[in-house]
Amino acid sequence: MGYLYKSVCFADLTTARQHYAADLLTQWGNGSTVMRSEVVSTDFTQPTYTLCTRVDGGPCSLIDYPFPTLAECDFGQGVALSTEMFALLLGFLVVVWVSSILYRMFWRPYDPA
Residue 91 within a domain = no
Residue 96 within a domain = no
- The model carries a pTM of 0.62
Residue 82 within a domain = no
Q: What integer is the mean pLDDT of 56-77?
A: 86
Residue 81 within a domain = no
Query: Would you say residue 10 has pLDDT above 70?
Result: yes
Query: Would you say residue 49 has pLDDT above 80?
Result: yes
Work out the angle at residue 108's Cα, subtended by the Cα atoms of residues 105 and 113, and round it to the nearest 5 degrees.
145
Per the structure, how many domains does the chain have? 1
Residue 85 within a domain = no
Q: What integer is the mean pLDDT of 93-98?
A: 96
pLDDT at 58: 86
Q: Which residues contact 6 (CB under 8 A, 6 or more apart)?
A: 19, 23
Residue 90 within a domain = no
Q: Which residues contact 49 (CB under 8 A, 6 or more apart)?
A: 17, 21, 39, 41, 64, 65, 67
Residue 113 within a domain = no
> Domain residues for 31?
2-73
Query: Would you say residue 111 has pLDDT above 70?
Result: no
Q: In 3D, which of 32, 34, 21, 109 has the Cα closest to residue 65?
A: 21
Residue 107 within a domain = no
Mean of all residue pLDDT scores within the chain: 87
Query: Would you say residue 73 has pLDDT above 90?
Result: no
